[in-house]
Amino acid sequence: MRTGQCHLIVGRFVPENNFETMIREFMASKSRKDLAIITTANDRFLEKLEEKLHFKQDPRIKFVGTVYDQDLLRKIRENAYAYLHGHSVGGTNPSLLESLSSTKLNLLYDVAFNQEVARQAGLYWSKELGNLRRLIEKVKGFSQQAVEDFGQAARRRVAHAYSWPAIAGEYEELWLK
């Protein structure tokens, strides 16, 4: 994979991670980049999505499978143009933190916990028809400097709020109270 040639999704292949919205909206976009999807196996859900979306007809959609090698996954994230994060339940998601630390553009489902994690380092989308498509097309036109600025903001956010020194400092403060 060449640097910046794909959008990337990493996550468990379950409905609450909004794969249907992300794939549908990507397919509707005018992006010339591929959408690489690294996920767990779920044949039943895959068949259901294919029946609804017919994504196999779009040569840009690439189901990669599962990648367990963390160094390889980090390199994939570093070389992606943008990361799409559709998690809609939970809280601080490890795949989001990993993406913020290595992917420059992070397109995140607009829920409170994703906003809390990424803050201004993320760009947010909703399930409204056309919303994510418009965001994908908007970031396509970003200057290299704008992309770099988002990447720096994402790395700063992780270092500030999610590094071991930051977390240990919060625990120390809590215990001292």
pLDDT digit string (tens) for 94-122? 899 999 999 999 999 999 999 999 999 99
Token pair, residue 11, equals: 């996550």
Q: Is the pLDDT of residue 2 over 70?
A: no
Task: Report the alpha-carbon distance of residue 41 to residue 45 in Å, rounded.
Answer: 9
Q: What percent of the chain is predicted at pLDDT more than 70?
A: 98
So what's the pLDDT on residue 54?
A: 98
N-terminal to C-terminal alpha carbon distance within the chain: 50
Predicted pLDDT of residue 90 = 82
The domains of the chain, with CATH numbers, are 6-176 (3.40.50.2000)
Q: Copy the structure tokens of residue 36.
A: 């690489």
Taking residues 19-30, what's their average pLDDT?
Answer: 98
The sheet with strand 34-39 has its strands ordered as 61-65, 34-39, 6-11, 82-85, 105-109, 123-125
pLDDT at position 147? 96
Given pLDDT bands bounded at 50, 70 and 90, which one contains residue 166?
confident
Mean pLDDT score, 156-174: 91
CB 123 within 8 A of CB 77: no
Per the prediction, the chain carries an average pLDDT of 94
